[in-house]
């Protein structure tokens, strides 16, 4: 009879366990096994590596009677133990390997973890939730007149998720790392180099084979000039893009580009690429379909049947290239329409009033980010919003779009930076940083300081340069500039003429003087450059040339004047030293490290002859680079000097972007002195923009300094400085 009663109890216990199982909150694929006949460990297996949840209707103890009893603990959602009681209050021994609480087994027998997929989803959702309210608000505000605005927003959000899901694990790991270290691009360990792949190494594979040289130049931030598909002969140096997801055939493929970025990342090199936002090539698929008469695609540009509205735009919208590409519209005779072309006739302006354009361009940007691009350079960003009755520059909607792009990067690819190309006057540049609370671009070109540096070279007067440095120093430390001497583009004279007018300097005559000096037409000028987009009617022009040619190395080299060449090399080093000591990220223009001169061969190429910017876009001289270890050559004097400066910058914390900066009096109008300071070090950079040996009448009475360049110790008082020379004085605190 006892056996029968025990059997009935066992049968009842099993039935009760089945009832619990049917009401459990655990996943359907989970199986809870509780065995009493064998004293083996209780195993709870699931198809997912998640904790097993065992629920009851009232969360009351379940009574399961056995001949021996010991509480078997199975975790529930509230981590409370399920009590298993019997008629006898004696412990049932459930043996485990270490007599530890029951564990959910995984493939690695590790503690239960959220799956990688779920963790990935949670990361994305957290980022999206953080920005969703503002993103929705700004998008709806921008397109409030569109009845389908919510549909477009939904399409945008779907696209963001798709690009996040297809972003590879290495890039997502980089995103997480950079999210945790938001200062990664603000420290003193970044040195950039800007180059054309075709000029430097012919192809993407060629560039990959030259990465050892790139690293020898101390470069860990590589800015590759436009390399996407563009029509030969009508490419504007690659800025007329016909396909945002295809590399130019002569350079390679998108797969090769992605492989290049991966190899760069393994070496600690970040990659920057241009993203041309304002326009497409007339050979782009959208443009072709618009030209074929498809209204949907014509709405992605600005088309007009008559000149009435274009004429109204022309009244308030300035011309970018009045000499080489006058006007802001182009007549298309084949379809009898006018199309807006702010830059060149073959570059059709995109209509960002159409939300489809914004969505698709954002998707193109994210596509490039997923190929391994770390820094997206927003080309000509001030021009992207057009509004009748305005100058179509820097409108509020532009800032709304850039803010949207910043948030989207922080959602999908937070390791990616936005670099704004804003070639405007100083007061129009800074707003593209946004605010500290609602940032826009991570980085901006320090265009004004660059142009003011060359103004100082021509005038030998540091007053304007000193003012510019102090203005930048007063900005929040979160604002990071990209500093440079030369780049692929021309030098435009967007100077602070309100300040210069205090000294009786007038804009047009002053621009003429600057161009005369830097082209070498001014008496006894050492510089050699060429004008770009000269407009005699306005008396305005911009300037082209390499650093070495503008510093005198070209002139004195051709004259066989060794002393002049050495002086030019010293000036070249001084200008780079000044650039490297500014706050922000320094970027060297490829070829400057070996003193490459102007390339006049572009005059012989019909496709380039009309664009004098090719003067400083010549092929990299690998034959000259071989001289960098020969001390008697220009390269052997210049390359090691820049190498020394770059390495000094990386090991001294005073060059971090968060260090304070201000200028001090030298009591000589041709000598600039700037002070950088943090808790560890004090640095004084002194730069002589004169062709004469001088004395910098500074008077810092706080101890002995070491000139980092020469290793010489000195006081920071009455410093004698050679013509076109410099000092980097530093002391520990």
Q: Which residues are catalytic?
A: 379, 421
From the centroid of its chain, how far is CA 184?
12
Q: Which residues contact 405 (CB under 8 A, 6 or more apart)?
A: 362, 365, 378, 418
Dihedral angle, C-alpha 680, 580, 644, 726, nearest 10 °: -90
Residue among 208, 269, 277 at smallest CA distance from 239: 277
Cα–Cα distances in angstroms (integers) from residue 605 to residues 48, 465, 600, in the given order = 65, 38, 10
**DSSP of 618-687, one letter per residue?**
PPP-HHHHGGGG-TTSHHHHHHHHHHHHHHHHHH-GGGSTTSEEEEE--SSTTEEEEEEE-SSEEEEEEE
CA 22 to chain centre: 55
Q: Around Cβ 321, how many Cβ atoms within 10 Å? A: 14
β-partners of residue 243 are: 229
Partner residues linked to 303 by β-bridges: 339
Q: CA–CA separation, 232 vs 251, rounded Å?
A: 13
User: Is 667:685 a contact under the CB 8 Å cutoff?
Assistant: no
Closest CA to 259 of 247, 249, 250: 247
Q: Is 596 helix (H, G, I), strand (E, B) or coil?
A: coil
3-class SS string, 192-209: EEEECHHHHHCCHHHHHH
CA separation for the pair 422, 566 (Å, rounded): 35
Cβ 189 vs Cβ 236: under 8 Å: no
Nearest to 552 by CA among 595, 490, 493: 595
């Amino acid at each position: 009879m006892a056996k029968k009663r025990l059997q009935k109890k066992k049968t009842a216990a099993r039935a009760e366990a089945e009832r619990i199982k049917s009401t459990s909150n655990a996943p359907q694929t989970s199986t809870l096994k509780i065995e009493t006949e064998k004293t083996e460990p209780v195993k709870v297996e699931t198809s997912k590596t998640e904790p097993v949840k065992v629920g009851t209707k009232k969360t009351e103890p379940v009574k399961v009677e056995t001949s021996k009893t010991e509480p078997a603990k199975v975790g529930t959602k509230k981590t409370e133990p399920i009590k298993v009681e019997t008629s006898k209050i004696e412990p049932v021994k459930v043996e485990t390997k270490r007599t530890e609480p029951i564990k959910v087994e995984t493939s690695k027998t590790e503690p239960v973890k959220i799956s990688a997929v779920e963790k990935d989803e949670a990361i994305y959702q957290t980022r999206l939730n953080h920005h969703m309210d503002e993103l929705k608000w700004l998008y709806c505000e921008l397109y409030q007149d569109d009845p389908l605005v919510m549909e477009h927003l939904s399409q945008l959000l779907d696209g963001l998720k798709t690009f996040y899901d297809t972003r590879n694990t290495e890039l997502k790991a980089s995103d997480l790392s950079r999210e945790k270290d938001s200062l990664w691009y603000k420290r003193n360990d970044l040195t950039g180099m800007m180059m054309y792949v075709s000029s430097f190494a012919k192809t993407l594979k060629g560039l990959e084979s030259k990465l050892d040289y790139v690293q020898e130049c101390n470069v860990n931030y590589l800015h590759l000039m436009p390399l996407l598909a563009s029509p030969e002969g009508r490419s504007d140096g690659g800025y007329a893009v016909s396909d945002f997801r295809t590399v130019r055939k002569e350079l390679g493929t998108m797969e090769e580009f992605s492989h290049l970025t991966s190899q760069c990342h393994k070496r600690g090199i970040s990659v920057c690429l241009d993203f041309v936002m304002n326009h497409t090539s007339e050979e782009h698929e959208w443009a072709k379909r618009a030209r074929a008469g498809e209204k949907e695609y014509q709405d992605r540009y600005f088309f007009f049947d008559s000149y009435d509205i274009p004429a109204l735009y022309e009244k308030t919208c300035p011309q970018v290239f009045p000499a080489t590409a006058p006007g802001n519209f182009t007549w298309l005779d084949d379809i009898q329409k006018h199309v807006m072309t702010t830059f060149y006739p073959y570059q059709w302006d995109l209509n960002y009033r159409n939300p489809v354009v914004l969505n698709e361009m954002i998707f193109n940007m994210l596509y490039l980010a997923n190929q391994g691009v770390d820094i997206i350079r927003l080309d000509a960003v001030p021009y992207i919003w057009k509004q009748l009755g305005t100058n179509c520059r820097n409108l509020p909607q532009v800032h709304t779009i850039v803010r949207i792009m910043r948030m989207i990067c922080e959602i999908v690819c937070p390791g990616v930076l936005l670099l704004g190309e804003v070639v405007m006057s100083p007061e129009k540049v800074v707003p593209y940083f946004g605010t500290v609370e609602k940032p826009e671009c991570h980085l901006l070109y320090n265009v004004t300081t660059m142009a003011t540096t060359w103004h100082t070279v021509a005038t030998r007067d540091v007053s304007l340069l000193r003012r510019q440095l102090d203005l930048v120093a007063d900005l929040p430390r979160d604002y990071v500039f990209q500093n440079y001497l030369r780049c692929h583009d021309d030098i435009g004279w967007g100077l602070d003429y309100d300040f210069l007018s205090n000294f009786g300097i007038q804009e047009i005559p002053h621009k003429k003087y600057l161009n005369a000096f830097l082209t070498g037409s001014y008496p006894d000028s050492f510089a050699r450059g060429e004008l770009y987009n000269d407009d005699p009617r306005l008396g305005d022009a911009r300037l082209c040339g390499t650093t070495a040619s503008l510093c005198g190395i070209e002139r004195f080299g051709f004259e066989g004047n060794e002393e002049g060449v050495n002086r030019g090399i010293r000036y070249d080093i001084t200008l780079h030293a000044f650039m490297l000591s500014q706050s922000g990220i320094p970027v060297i223009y490829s070829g400057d490290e070996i003193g490459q001169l102007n390339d006049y061969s572009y005059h012989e190429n019909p496709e380039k002859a009309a664009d004098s910017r090719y003067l400083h876009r010549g092929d990299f001289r690998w034959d000259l680079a071989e001289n960098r270890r020969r001390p008697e050559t220009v390269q052997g004097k210049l390359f090691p000097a820049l190498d020394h400066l770059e390495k000094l910058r990386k090991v001294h914390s005073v060059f971090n972007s968060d260090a304070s900066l201000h200028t001090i009096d030298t009591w000589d109008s041709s000598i600039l002195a700037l002070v950088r300071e943090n808790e560890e070090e004090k640095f004084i950079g002194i730069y002589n923009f004169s062709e004469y040996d001088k004395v910098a009448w500074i008077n810092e009475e706080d101890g002995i300094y070491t000139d980092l360049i020469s290793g010489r110790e000195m006081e920071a008082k009455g410093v004698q400085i050679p013509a076109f020379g410099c000092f980097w004085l530093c002391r520990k605190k």
